[in-house]
A and B are shown apart, each in its own frame.
Chain A
Amino acid sequence: MNNKKENVLEINDLSVSTSGSKILKGLNLSIRKGETHAIMGPNGSGKSTLAKTIAGHTDYEINNGTIKFLGNDLVSIPIEERSNLGLFLGFQYPIEIPGLSNTAFLKAAINAQRKYNDLKDIPANEFLLELKSKADQLGLDQSFLSRGVNEGFSGGEKKRNEILQMLMLNPKLSILDETDSGLDIDSMKIVADGVNSTRNEETSTIVITHYERLLNYLEPDYVHVINDGRIIKTGDSTLANELEEKGYEWLTKKK
């Protein structure tokens, strides 16, 4: 990898607790422009906590450490502003908003971002054309766009909808929290292709997953293993294969 590239995300000695219990305990992580990182680890190791803390969820309290995103100290920045700066979180369990159409929701999100960047609202035509082409890319039917946000969607549809939002919002850093869980092989391929289509020199991705399968499609630059709130091992994509074979125990026990 090119070491001269600037950091998109820089996490230093991060400790986080929720409802009184400590989840992250001095975690360090740096991600540069254009890189894809995978984060793996046993259940309860702190993967989702990390994702939600970066996004600014108020249930998670930062006890120590710093998170810098494109040079901004994230801790003091409101959730929506983090998003508008180019941070995207693909939810493990996407939330339903009954009655609010997917299209209306996405348009509001895009216009919020444009407003933040002093741009006028997106022209309706331009928006709809782009939405249609992105939906096609993900194999989503048109009727999907007029349904309520995640309302009555199957697990796979919800995950594809997250990727649709990601494609429309053009984030600089995407954190995909177990986007592959609950997907059949075909859907996983579509999702992976969607993610791959956004990869370039300027965008970075964090993929949180339990399975190497998605990583086979995505070929991450780095694979990290989290255990008990810290990164205990970092390697290249072959580490994922090794984990698939041996499980986590050989790493966690050693510690």
Chain B
Amino acid sequence: MEKQKNKEINEFLQKGYEYGFETDIESETLPPGINEDVIKIISAKKEEPEFLLNWRLKAFAHWKTLKSPEWSQLNIDPIDYQSISYFSKPKQDDGPKSLDEVDPKLLETYEKLGIPLHERAKLAGVAVDAVFDSVSVVTTFKDKLAEAGVIFCSFSEAVQDHPELIKKYLGKVVPYRDNYFAALNAAVFSDGTFVYIPKGVRCPMELSTYFRINEAKTGQFERTLIVADEDSYVSYLVGCTAPMRDENQLHAAVVELIALNDAEIKYSTVQNWYPGDEKGKGGIYNFVTKRGDCRGENSKISWTQIETGSAITWKYPSCILRGDNSSGEFHSIALTNNLQQADTGTKMIHLGKNTKSKIISKGISAKSSQNTYRGLVSMSKGASQSRNYTQCDSLLIGNKSGAHTFPSINVNNTSSTLEHEATTSKISDDQLFYCQQRGIDEEDAIGLIVSGFCKEVLNELPMEFAVEARALLQVNLEGAIG
């Protein structure tokens, strides 16, 4: 049945070519531009079921009616959506052939970050498959997960193997109508990740370990869906401390998390994409929609993010606290240097009774960068006895950078409690002098002071990542003073 449909789509597409759409369906990359045909080709190449193609087309139709939003505290050069190629398979042989061909500066950074030797080649984009025996490692992980009944695969695989789950949960937390970039992502998303943790299962490993080795390369329009069924637990860490090679300027990913009764999802991100040069040229735009749905009673979703890369970061990982007694957390470090801009924060939407949320945001701005916290805490009428605690700290380095805070609070009941604390501080000359008098040079001193400032968030990361994240903050602050 499914095959038959695919055949029809293919035939339709073949026909399309007669009318001048000049693309070989076998080719690995589509020419730049976006239209319905492009979406049909993407869907056909992935042999997607009809419901998914229809969903993409509806999203595209909706996207066409939208305008790029302008309410943020960001300066964004106009994006030409017709100049982007919406489907390209990563080529195996256009990268460097060995580590000897990789920019020594990049290798130096890996060294500073303490990235294990066997991962460096992969991160630097060295085009050799299985240069190290990670394949067997990955297989071991996969076996272990399968034994526990955990589904953990690419989005495309999930569409083929578990279409019923995709159909049930896709777009239910971030509908394509949600916003401009969510609509665009829904129309053209290339691939991503799907995770399903069955009832009563505690995922036997941190899903980060696998990622570090296997998924260093992320797509431009990535889509992640994580479903934690009743009474299950999963901790997922995506991203990488090492700066990644990437030619795509716009990244518009969507992440949806769903936690059913008594389930818990911990989602951590480390984002260190190319921020552009000192004049702000050439950096990545990271416009991501991330939202978690605490659908079940006693469910819990916790976001942790370390955002140090990208020219522009624009994202608000949020929680919908629908189930009674559910809780949401947001722990964030956003560091901007040079001309980087970040407009990030969270939304905690309290719907269920006795729901709890906690927001810890640490913004660090150096040089001429701009760092904005934007957040919403909303307590609906039914969210009686709910609580929120927000702590929002900004640290300024030098005297040209900016920190902005836009917290919104809506309360529609009389039994909820909210606390909001905010501080803005500067690294003082006295602090630097104190460190230097103890033999620590200025750059290391800034690194130490910043890691102290970020402690509560760094503590949320798995141990080995916390060490790397500290190093990452320091590396990204090089030259922050002076």
**Chain B associates with chain A:** yes
Among candidates A84, A94, A97, residue contacting B439 with C-beta atoms closer than 8 Å: A84
Query: Complex: how many Å from CA A96 to CA B435?
Result: 11
Known: A57-B433, A97-B431. A112 touches B438 (CB 8 A): yes
B22 on the A face (CB < 8 A): no
Query: In the complex the two chains form, is A99's CB within 8 Å of B431's CB?
Result: no
Cα separation A82 to B440 with both chains bound (whole Å)? 11
Is A100 a contact partner of B439 (Cβ separation < 8 A)?
no
Q: Are B455 and A79 in contact (CB under 8 A)?
A: no
Cβ-neighbour of B444 out of A56, A88, A108 (below 8 A): A108
The answer to whether A91 touches B449, judged by C-beta atoms less than 8 angstroms apart, is no
| Interface positions of B from 438 to 461, Cβ below 8 Å from A | 438-442, 444, 448-449, 451-456
Partner of B438, one of A56, A83, A96, A148: A83
Say whether B437 contacts A99, CB under 8 Å.
no
Across the A-B interface, give the 5 residue pairs with the lowest CB-CB distance, nearest first. Answer: A100-B452, A99-B452, A99-B455, A109-B438, A83-B439
Residue on A nearest B427 in the bound complex, by CB = A97
A165 within 8 Å of B by Cβ? Answer: yes
Q: Is the CB of A98 within 8 A of B436?
A: no
CB distance from A31 to the nearest CB of B (A): 18
Q: Mark A93-132, 1 if CB is under 8 A from B, else 0.
A: 0111111110011001100110010000000000000000
Is there a chain A Cβ closer than 8 Å to B12's Cβ?
no
Set of chain A residues within 8 Å of B429, measured between Cβ atoms = 58-59
* B64 CB to nearest chain A CB (Å): 48
Interface of chain B, main secondary structure: helix
For chains A and B in complex, what number of residue pairs have CB atoms within 8 angstroms?
83
The answer to whether A169 has its CB under 8 Å from any CB of chain B is yes
Chain A residues with Cβ below 8 Å from B442 are 80
Residue B81 lies at the interface, judged by CB distance under 8 Å to chain A: no
With A83-B439, A108-B440 as given contacts, are A97 and B448 in contact (CB-CB < 8 Å)?
yes
How close is A4's CB to chain B, nearest CB, in angstroms?
Answer: 31
B434 in contact (CB, < 8 A): yes
Interface size on A, residues (CB 8 A): 33
A84-B439, A91-B434, A95-B430 known; A112 and B452 CB under 8 Å? no
Interface hub of B441, B449, B452 (most chain A Cβ within 10 A): B452
In the complex the two chains form, is B448's CB within 8 Å of A100's CB?
A: yes
A94 to B428, CA, bound (A): 13
A-facing residues in B123-174 (Cβ within 8 Å): none
Bound complex: CA A112 to CA B442 (Å) = 12
Name the distance in Å between B421's Cβ and chain A's nearest Cβ.
14
How long is the Cα–Cα vector from A100 to B458 in the complex, in angstroms?
A: 12
Taken together as a complex, chains A and B put the C-alpha atoms of A109 and B441 apart, in Å, by 9
**B440 and A112 within 8 A (CB):** yes
Q: Is the CB of B436 within 8 A of A80?
A: yes
How far is B440's CA from A108's CA once the two chains are assembled, in angstroms?
A: 7
Q: Which of B434, B441, B451, B453 contacts A95 (CB 8 A)?
A: B434
A208 in the interface, Cβ–Cβ < 8 Å?
Answer: no
State the Cβ distance, B177 to closest chain A Cβ, in Å.
Answer: 41
On chain A, the residues within 8 Å of B456 by CB distance are 99
Q: In the complex, which of the residues A56, A88, A97, A104 has the most CB atoms of chain B within 10 Å of its own CB atom?
A: A97
Given contacts A80-B439, A80-B440, A95-B431, 15 further A-B contacts (CB under 8 A): A56-B437, A58-B429, A78-B436, A79-B437, A84-B439, A88-B437, A89-B437, A95-B433, A97-B449, A97-B452, A99-B453, A99-B454, A100-B452, A108-B448, A169-B438
20 A–B pairs (Cβ distance < 8 Å), ordered by A: A55-B433, A56-B436, A57-B433, A79-B436, A79-B437, A80-B442, A82-B437, A83-B437, A84-B439, A91-B437, A94-B434, A97-B449, A99-B453, A99-B454, A99-B456, A100-B448, A100-B455, A108-B444, A109-B435, A112-B439
Task: Give Cα distance in the complex from A83 to B452, angstroms.
Answer: 22
Smallest CB separation, B21 vs chain A (Å): 58
Provided the pairs A109-B439, A116-B439 are in contact, do residues A100 and B433 lie with their beta carbons within 8 angstroms? no
Q: Mark A219-235, 1 if CB is under 8 A from B, else 0.
A: 00000000000000000
CA distance A12 to B175 in the complex (A): 76
Please, how many angstroms separate the alpha-carbon atoms of A113 and B428 in the complex? Answer: 23
B437→A55 contact, CB < 8 A: yes
Q: Name B438's closest neighbour in chain A (CB-CB).
A: A109
Distance (Å) between the CB of A88 and the closest chain B CB? Answer: 8
Chain B, Cβ-Cβ closest to A85? B439
A150 CB to closest chain B CB (Å) equals 9
